[in-house]
């Protein structure tokens, strides 16, 4: 699994091949991105990156088996599923076809690949043989290739630069991850960051869930200061928690807010560790943070003696939702 994460610099470049295949002859009113789990988070990332670059259309991320009521033929619906066989995502695709939306599919395989040819839907293939959460860079850069046709948000150069940056920092990221994992061992992580990095915080949580098989909690500032903060007036088992502070050192005001949250938690007996984001721009920082989270969750899986690859409970859930929806 570790080796798969080490392949991220190559994934960033590989995905650029898909950019040459993208054709889009419409100017959509809204972009709706549908996907679940490791594929769904790709929509959150793409939206955050697009808005960091001044993208001027609404982007809605749907992690459900039904589309919002307003979605119609004026909208572009992009469905992403690494396996191509996730029931919720397939349902959204079928609904998009019924509503005559412009559609796009990103998958490596599966039912959606078949449906693409049956319905003449443009299809962008990502590499087989990975697991969805590890395919983040390839799915993300592929998706950005579609958004670029609406308004350019990233150049090939930026993807190349990020690939070099990640490659050069691989060893340092793995070492830092090992340290963070040691701090988190036998604790329930509270991942704390601010709104701009919320998708990364959710991604960190998901990685800890799926690879290390532990629960964790996400808190986002400034919203944190309007409810969760009160929960610490009556802290239950403070020793069980450990704060993971996701910080962009260049963002002074928000770093000050995180310092305040850290101060408050430490007063209640909760210790914390920082996860500082490195990189020249937002894209590099979230790829860096995601890789650091990936390696942290793998190191934590090693400490717990669990297999990071296997996700039995997801398979169980997929059986249940399939029988409910079909
Ligand atoms: C992540 C993972 C899950 C899946 C999710 C949806 O590695 O295994 O979160 O991403 O169950 O499946 P796909 O991505 O195949 O649509």
204 contacts 244 by C-beta, under 8 angstroms: yes
Q: Could you tell me whether strands 76-81 and 123-125 are parallel, antiparallel, or unpaired per DSSP bridges?
A: unpaired
Residues annotated as part of the active site: 210, 226, 318
Give the closest residue to 224 by CA, choosing from 197, 256, 192.
Answer: 192
Q: Give the C-alpha separation, 97 to 162, whole Å.
A: 36
Helix (H) or strand (E) holding 286: helix 282-304
Predicted model pTM:
0.97
Taking the centre of ligand 1 as the mean of its atom positions, its distance from the CA of residue 157, in whole angstroms, is 29
Adjacency order of strands within the sheet including 217-221:
217-221, 188-194, 241-247, 271-276
The CA distances from residue 4 to 86, 109, 191, 212, 325, in Å, are: 22, 19, 24, 16, 33
Q: Give the number of the atom of ligand 1 that is nearest the alpha carbon of residue 80.
A: 16
Name the one residue in this structure whose structure tokens are 């002859």. 25
Each residue's pLDDT expressed in tens, for the chain with a length of 326 residues: 999 999 999 999 999 999 999 999 899 999 999 999 999 999 999 999 999 999 999 999 999 999 999 999 999 999 999 999 999 999 999 999 999 999 999 999 999 999 999 999 999 999 999 999 999 999 999 999 999 999 999 999 999 999 999 999 999 999 999 999 999 999 999 999 999 999 999 999 999 999 999 999 999 999 999 999 999 999 889 999 999 999 999 999 989 999 999 999 999 999 999 999 999 999 999 999 999 999 999 999 999 999 999 999 999 999 999 999 98
210 CB within 6 A, ligand 1: yes
1 CB within 6 A, ligand 1: no
Q: Give the C-alpha separation, 75 to 87, whole Å.
A: 22
* Nearest residue (CA) to ligand 1, atom 7: 133
Helix (H) or strand (E) holding 105: strand 102-107
Q: Give the C-alpha separation, 303 to 177, whole Å.
A: 12
194 CB within 6 A, ligand 1: no
DSSP 281: S
DSSP 242: E
Structure tokens at 135: 């395919």
């Amino acid at each position: 699994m570790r080796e798969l994460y080490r392949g991220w610099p190559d994934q960033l470049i590989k995905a650029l091949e898909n950019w040459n295949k993208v054709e889009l002859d419409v100017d959509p009113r809204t972009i709706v991105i549908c996907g679940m789990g490791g594929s769904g988070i790709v929509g959150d990332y793409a939206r955050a990156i697009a808005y960091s670059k001044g993208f001027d259309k609404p982007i809605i991320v749907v992690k459900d088996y039904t589309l919002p009521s307003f979605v119609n033929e004026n909208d572009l619906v992009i469905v992403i599923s690494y396996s191509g066989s996730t029931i919720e995502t397939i349902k959204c695709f079928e609904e998009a076809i019924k509503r005559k939306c412009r559609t796009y599919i990103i998958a490596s395989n599966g039912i959606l690949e078949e449906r693409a040819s049956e319905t003449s839907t443009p299809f962008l293939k990502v590499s087989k043989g990975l697991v969805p959460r590890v395919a983040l860079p390839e799915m993300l850069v592929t998706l950005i290739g579609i958004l670029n046709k609406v308004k350019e948000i990233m150049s090939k150069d930026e993807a190349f630069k990020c690939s070099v940056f990640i490659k050069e920092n691989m060893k340092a990221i793995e070492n830092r991850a090992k340290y963070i994992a040691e701090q988190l061992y036998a604790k329930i992580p509270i991942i704390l960051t601010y709104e701009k990095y919320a998708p990364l915080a959710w991604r960190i949580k998901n990685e800890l869930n799926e690879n290390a098989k532990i629960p964790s909690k996400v808190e986002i500032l400034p919203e944190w200061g309007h409810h969760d903060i009160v929960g610490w007036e009556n802290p239950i088992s403070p020793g069980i928690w450990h704060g993971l502070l996701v910080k962009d050192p260049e963002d002074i005001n928000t770093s000050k807010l995180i310092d305040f949250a850290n101060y408050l938690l430490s007063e209640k007996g909760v210790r914390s560790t920082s996860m500082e984001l490195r990189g020249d721009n937002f894209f590099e920082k979230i790829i860096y943070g995601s890789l650091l989270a990936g390696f942290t969750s793998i190191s934590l899986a090693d400490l717990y003696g669990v297999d990071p690859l296997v996700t039995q409970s997801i398979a169980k859930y997929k059986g249940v939702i399939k029988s409910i929806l079909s």
